[in-house]
Amino acid sequence: MRKSILAFIVFQSMFFFTLCAQDSTIQKEKWHWDNALKQDTSAGYVQVVKVDNILYISGAVARDVTPEGITRVYQGLERSLKSFGATFQNVVKENLYT
């Protein structure tokens, strides 16, 4: 009887660990606003990465720190958001470095 119970527990443990070990690859969609291929192949840079229902936007820089330069940055960010059907109303966090 004990061997049967032990065998059952071992079987259940193996089954559980097999389920946990299945492929859980995160699906990502990459986008670069001025590149039809979505990915900048020269540097491996990408403007937006979408993971599930979250957008990660990176590397929005201004050539000049003037009102016009900052406006251009936000116009680029707006294009990135629009490509995924989002707006600035959907932004939760923004990091600004000067």
DSSP assignment of 22-61 equals: S--PPPEEEE-TT-TTSSBTTTTB-SEEEETTEEEE----
User: Nearest to residue 10, comparing CAs of 2, 58, 70, 23?
Assistant: 2
Whether 25 shows a pLDDT value over 70: the answer reads no
Longest CA–CA span in the chain (Å) reads: 80
Token pair for 2: 């004990």
Whether 80 shows a pLDDT value over 60: the answer reads yes
Secondary element (H or E) of residue 10: helix 2-20
Among the ranges given (1-5, 20-24, 43-47, 59-63), the one the predictor scored with the smallest mean pLDDT: 20-24
> Across residues 13-28, what is the average pLDDT?
59
Whether 7 shows a pLDDT value over 70: the answer reads no
Q: Report the SS3 class of residue 79.
A: helix
